[in-house]
Amino acid sequence: MSEIVLVLKSKSERETYEIGYQIGTLLDRGDIVCLTGDLGAGKTVLAKGIARGLGVKEDVTSPTFTLIHEYMGRIPLYHFDVYRIGSIEEMEDLGYEEYFYGSGACIVEWASRIRELIPEDHLWIEIRTKGEHEREIRLGGTADRFLQAMKEWKRK
């Protein structure tokens, strides 16, 4: 896992969504957002907020059975759920490199399952359950512009 440099607290799904929204407003072509956490921790809620912050109008759902959903916002958004990935070869068969190194941004749920494929420049987010609705959202990675912007947002 990437070194954690910022910890945000969420007391509701709405707050988790809002944190995602703020991240989404920062997304640019080539950005990779890696989401990790237990089942039900809020990865998809955060992903929905990210998508909305990127300008995606349609409803975002977890692509658990299809592995990837594509959305159009101000840039393309590719939403992966690699929970069911059995091997790196399956990612290669999907053509993941075209998405990771293409003209859009990517959200990867369960990113720790394909850690060796994650590009060097990324935002790593771990969501920890702290209660029925409370979450600890831990940000790290190498995408400094996200981390600096989120620190500023947290101060406000």
Please report, as a single letter, which amino acid is at residue 137. Answer: I
Alpha helices in the chain (DSSP H): 13-26, 43-53, 88-94, 96-100, 144-155
> Does residue 16 carry a pLDDT above 60?
yes
> Does residue 61 carry a pLDDT above 80?
yes
Could you tell me the fold of the domain covering 4-155?
A: Rossmann fold (3.40.50)
Would you put residue 17 in left (φ > 0), alpha (ψ -120 to 50) or beta?
Answer: alpha
Model confidence band, residue 74 (pLDDT cutoffs 50, 70, 90)? very high
> Does residue 1 carry a pLDDT above 60?
no
The pLDDT value given to residue 40: 87
**Average pLDDT of the residues in 87-93:** 90
Alpha-carbon distance of 16 to 37, in angstroms, equals: 13
Map out the domains of the chain as residue ranges: 4-155
Alpha-carbon distance of 94 to 53, in angstroms, equals: 26
The per-residue pLDDT for range 121-151, each reduced to its tens digit, is: 899 999 999 988 899 999 988 877 777 777 7
The pLDDT value given to residue 156: 64
Model confidence band, residue 118 (pLDDT cutoffs 50, 70, 90)? very high
The pLDDT value given to residue 140: 87
CA distances to 54, 100, 154 from 148, in Å? 18, 23, 10
The pLDDT value given to residue 5: 80
The pLDDT value given to residue 146: 74
